[in-house]
Amino acid sequence: MDNSRVYAIPFATVYPLYIQKAEKKGRTKEEVDIVISWLTGYDNHGISEQVNKKVDLRTFFNEAPQMNPDAVKITGVVCGVRVEAMEDKLMQNIRYMDKLIDELAKGKPVNKILRS
């Protein structure tokens, strides 16, 4: 499967959509940032920098300071595919991020989302 079009999507395009999805369900931008930080190791400044540089998703994950080793605890289905069974590591990371935002929007407590 060719995922190059997905990898080329600018993070600056998806990030506001994540915030919008969360805010529609009464969650905050800060909570979105906490979830993304937990997964990738970016701090708030790092997330803003990636948005301003308009990096694509491939670059966003390749430059991530530290992917969380507990990300493997993220399970479930995103876009009809089990995230834990994905073999393409980059696509799996993208889907992990989608899954975390979905959980946030569904009202799951942040400490549960962060697998703590």
What is the percent of the chain with per-residue pLDDT over 90, rounded to a whole number?
91
User: What top-level class would CATH report for the domain 4-108?
Assistant: mainly alpha
Contact in structure between 47 and 15 (CB atoms under 8 Å) = yes
SS3 at position 78: strand
pLDDT at 2: 82
The Cα–Cα gap between 21 and 53 comes to 23
Of 62, 45, 53, 51, the residue nearest 12 (C-alpha): 51
pLDDT tens-digit map of 40-99: 999 999 999 999 999 999 999 999 999 999 999 999 988 888 999 999 999 999 999 999
Of 106, 53, 110, 103, the residue nearest 83 (C-alpha): 103
